[in-house]
Each structure stands twice: as structure tokens, then as C-alpha cells.
Amino acid sequence: MHLSDVIEGPHGPTHQFWTSGYLPAPRYLDRPVSVLVSAMTFSGGEALAYDLQAQQRATVVGDVTRGGAHPSTVLSLGEHVELRLPIARTVNPITGGNWEGVGVQPDTVVPAIGALDTAYGVMLDALLGKPDLPASAREEAGIARRALMP
């Protein structure tokens, strides 16, 4: 699956990033995935969240991220001054854009401190909504869900 491109300069070259075509183990595409983010999530962590969200493979939960999508280099301009200069840009093949300067926008916006409980609750609700879930699993999910409520 095509995840992203990094385009150097104004016109390329372009470096493509893809998932592996072969896995030595089973794929679990039917399982829910949540990515927890915060205002401290940056660069590679943002790329993971953005790409999985664009592929509709994961739900992003937490705060808006910091917004660092463009690879850059640092040039020293003196003892106490430096210039961070973008040298490339990331482009998602689905959205045609990226998260530079705006951050990854979570599907569920909550303070980072509550993101894990929120994501866990959403997954438990999804399990409880499955009519084919065995009774023992439904009971266990119900107990866990009630334990999350204040």
C-alpha cells in the first residue's frame, strides 16, 4: 500500500514509501486500531497517525499534533542563531496534502491525558455492538466498559 511521497525541492526527485508486500505472519485487517497523539507528537509520529488515518485503518484520538511534515536541515547563522530550512515536502497519495503547520487532526479530540481511556471505550463499544460476539466476551467487554465510566 502506498503510504506517502517525499518530494525534494520544488520539482523532485520523489521518494515513495510503501508497506511491505509480504508478511511472514497473518494480517489482522479486521481489528480496530487507535493511534494516540498529543500536542507533543511530532514528525515521524505524526506521519504514522496521518497515514493510518488517511487509509481509514485507524482512529486518531487525542490533541492536535505539532505539525512537522517537511524534512529540513539546520544552518548555523552564528553562535546563538540557526535557520531551519525545509528541503522536501511530504505528500499523502490519498489526501494530496500533509500536516505541515496544522498538525494531525484527531478523529476524537480529547486532552492527551484521557486519550487512552477514550480510545479503549470506543473499542469496547464497537465490540459490544457486534451481535456475533460470544456471550462470555460480551460480558467481559461490558464489565470493562462500565469500569471506565465515572
pLDDT attached to residue 33: 93
Over residues 69-93, mean pLDDT: 95
Predicted pLDDT of residue 11: 87
User: Is it the case that residue 71 has pLDDT exceeding 80?
Assistant: yes
Provide the domain limits for residue 43.
2-19+32-112
The whole model's pTM is what? Answer: 0.87
Cell of 84: 531551519
Strands 88-91 and 14-18: unpaired
Instruction: Look at the chain and report how many structural domains it folds into.
Output: 1
What is the CATH number for 71? Answer: 3.90.226.10
Residue 144 pLDDT > 80, yes or no?
yes
**Which stretches of the chain are assigned E, i.e. beta strand?**
2-8, 14-18, 34-37, 59-62, 72-78, 81-86, 88-91, 108-109
